[in-house]
Amino acid sequence: QVQLVESGGGLVQPGGSLRLSCAASGSLFSIGRMGWYRQGPGKQRELVAAITGGGTSNYAESVKGRFTISRDNAKNTVYLQMNRLKPEDTAVYICCVTEREYVYWGKGTQVTVSS
């Protein structure tokens, strides 16, 4: 079993920055893809960014150039640096980790962008 603990969410003004972290713990043998999804009010869950074990990343078009995903394999942690935040980035951000053939989800952390 794998547990995911997210942190770093909060309230920020438009144009501001936040850094999210997601630490995986438990029965870890081989962590593969790590990523962040988000679900805004009344919206479907969408992929924000993901990164493979080899470091290849991909992003939603809406966040390209503003968000950066990274990972620290020694700490089993994935990060999401979010810059130039917009009100439309307001959502619950949810960490997702693939470990062998299993997919694990965090509980989510709220990000609110508002003046």
What is the per-residue pLDDT across 33-47, written as a single tens digit (0 to 9) for each? Answer: 999 999 998 999 999
pLDDT for 113 equals 98
CB-based contacts of 39, cutoff 8 Å, min separation 6: 45, 46, 91, 92, 94, 108
What is the per-residue pLDDT across 46-80, written as a single tens digit (0 to 9) for each? Answer: 999 999 999 999 999 999 999 999 999 999 999 99
Average pLDDT over residues 73-95: 97
Query: CB atoms < 10 A from the CB of 15, how many?
Result: 11
Give yes or no for residue 28 having a pLDDT over 90. no
**CA 41/CA 30 separation, integer angstroms:** 34
